[in-house]
């Protein structure tokens, strides 16, 4: 389905065409008509599917055509990085439209607070905010949301994981009852269904395939002892000189610092990012990584969702995430927007059961690669060799999973849209590469408020 098949304004279509987008992704095909029709919506779709554009395009279209004079849309997000990213996408899409937006998030100094207060008082067409910081402004009494027409919750599951439920409900109490509410979530646990029952009215429901890695990601596993991980990471980086952008995930802030120290090199720049850094520092680090001044970035799971950094050649899971969904989100940072990428996971003896559970959830076994000779021998895979398909067939778990999934059927923008801006991230073809091949040349050169 093409974007000009939707009832979108010519100016908005011009912006999309300028950026080279004509074909909608599945989430966009299903969500845009519902949103244009004014219906409430709950959509379950993993990262990298183009869901941000799925809600931004119809909202921008409505605001531009109706020429609203009040704040029309409030978008709540779990992290400041996601707030910044969505605000930037609004500016790109709205380059040809008379639409204003403001991002409200924590971590700034007093002047930032003053600028946010001024923008909130004057009003903007779209406000993108983290719940905690928005509550701070609301408690001062100068923010009026009595004319909000659309509320959007993006990464709703993440917001609940962080503990924003009470803040969300308090913000909702400031909004008109007669509004459109849209909820987007990568997962659909019971707490998300419960929240949707509280704040949505007879919503349309969309449930795309979940917990599946993007098609273009070539996955592999190295079985390692803890003391082999730094040498292995160094070896992989040195063995892939064509990979100019490498993202390494770990589960703790302490590990970020340890890995940065272990990988320091005169040949390339290594930096770490975590919530220990000030907001400005994090933004500067991300900018250096995007521009490839920094070749290797070490990060906690805050970056695994919502942050679009194009052309990441390799994602390394330094440890196995505790949640299978987080695994999908981590490796989803590569192979975005019709590209291919590589994802390598280091699995220690204690991580093997967790990795096996992830394989069951994604429905496929991740190939186990042999460690390079220079690293030595690692532990043996100690999990019984039951393939994911056999497991689901025996236990009936796959059918039960489907059954329980909930699936029923700062001012006016001055940012010129870039042809490189991602809105449609659906990979079109799969490149088969031998797992662990260190000679392959690339096909492509969050913090709580």
Query: Is residue 101 predicted with pLDDT exceeding 80?
Result: yes
Q: Which of 210, 230, 251 is the last residue of a domain?
A: 210
- The answer to whether position 423 is within a domain reads no
- The answer to whether position 92 is within a domain reads yes
State which residues form the domain around 15. 3-210
CA distance 42 to 195: 11
* Phi-psi domain of 362 (left: phi exceeds 0; alpha: psi -120 through 50; beta: other): alpha
- The answer to whether position 419 is within a domain reads no
We report the CATH number of the domain holding residue 76 as: 3.40.50.300
Res. 433 pLDDT band, cuts 50 70 90: very low
CA distance 308 to 41: 24
pLDDT of residue 260: 95
Query: Is residue 109 predicted with pLDDT exceeding 60?
Result: no
CA distance 408 to 105: 35
Q: What sign has the CA pseudo-torsion 74, 75, 80, 84?
A: negative
- The answer to whether position 440 is within a domain reads no
Same domain (yes/no): 183, 81: yes
- The Cβ-side half-sphere exposure at 434, using a 13 Å CA radius, reads 6
- The answer to whether position 421 is within a domain reads no
Same domain (yes/no): 362, 233: yes
Each residue's pLDDT tens digit, 335-375: 665 667 899 999 999 999 889 888 877 778 999 999 999 99
Res. 279 pLDDT band, cuts 50 70 90: confident
Same domain (yes/no): 168, 269: no
Give one DSSP letter per residue of 152-213, joined into a string. EESSHHHHHHHT-HHHHHHHHHTS-SSSEEEEEES---HHHHHHHHHH-SS-EEEE---S--
Q: How many domains is the chain built from?
A: 2
């Amino acid at each position: 389905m093409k974007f000009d098949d939707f009832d979108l304004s010519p100016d908005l279509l011009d912006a999309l065409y300028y950026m080279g987008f004509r074909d909608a992704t599945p989430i966009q095909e299903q969500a845009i008509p519902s949103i244009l029709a004014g219906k409430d919506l709950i959509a379950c779709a993993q990262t990298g599917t183009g869901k941000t554009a799925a809600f931004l395009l119809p909202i921008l279209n409505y605001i531009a055509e109706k020429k609203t004079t009040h704040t029309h849309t409030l978008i709540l997000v779990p992290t400041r990085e996601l707030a910044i990213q969505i605000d930037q996408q609004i500016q790109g899409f709205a380059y040809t439209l008379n639409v204003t937006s403001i991002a409200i998030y924590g971590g700034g100094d007093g002047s930032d607070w003053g600028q946010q207060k001024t923008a909130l008082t004057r009003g903007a067409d779209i406000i993108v905010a983290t719940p905690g910081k928005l509550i701070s402004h609301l408690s001062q009494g100068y923010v009026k949301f009595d004319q909000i027409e659309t509320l959007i919750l993006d990464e709703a599951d993440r917001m609940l994981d962080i503990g924003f439920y009470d803040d969300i409900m308090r913000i909702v109490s400031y909004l008109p009852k007669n509004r459109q509410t849209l909820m987007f979530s990568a997962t659909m646990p019971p707490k998300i269904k419960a929240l949707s029952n509280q704040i949505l009215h007879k919503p349309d429901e969309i449930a795309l395939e979940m917990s599946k890695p993007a098609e273009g990601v070539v996955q592999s596993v190295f079985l390692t002892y803890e003391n082999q991980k730094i040498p292995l990471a160094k070896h992989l980086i040195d063995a892939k000189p064509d990979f100019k952008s490498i993202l390494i995930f770990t589960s703790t802030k302490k590990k970020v610092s340890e890995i940065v120290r272990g990988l320091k090199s005169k040949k390339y720049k290594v930096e770490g990012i975590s919530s220990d850094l000030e907001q400005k520092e994090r933004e500067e680090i991300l900018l250096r990584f995007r521009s490839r001044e920094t070749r290797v970035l070490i990060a906690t799971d805050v970056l695994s969702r919502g942050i679009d950094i194009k052309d990441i050649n390799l994602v390394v899971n330094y440890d196995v995430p505790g949640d299978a969904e987080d695994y999908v989100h981590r490796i989803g940072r590569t192979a975005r927007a019709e590209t291919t990428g590589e994802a390598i996971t280091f699995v220690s003896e204690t991580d093997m059961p967790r990795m096996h559970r992830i394989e069951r959830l994604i429905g496929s076994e991740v190939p186990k690669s042999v460690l390079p000779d220079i690293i030595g021998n690692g532990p043996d895979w100690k999990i019984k060799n039951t393939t994911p398909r056999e497991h689901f067939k025996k236990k009936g778990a796959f059918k039960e999973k489907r059954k329980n999934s909930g699936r029923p059927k700062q001012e006016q923008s001055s940012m010129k849209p870039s042809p490189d801006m991602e809105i449609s991230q659906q990979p079109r073809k799969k490149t088969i590469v031998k797992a662990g091949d260190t000679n392959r040349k690339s096909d492509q050169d969050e913090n709580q408020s």
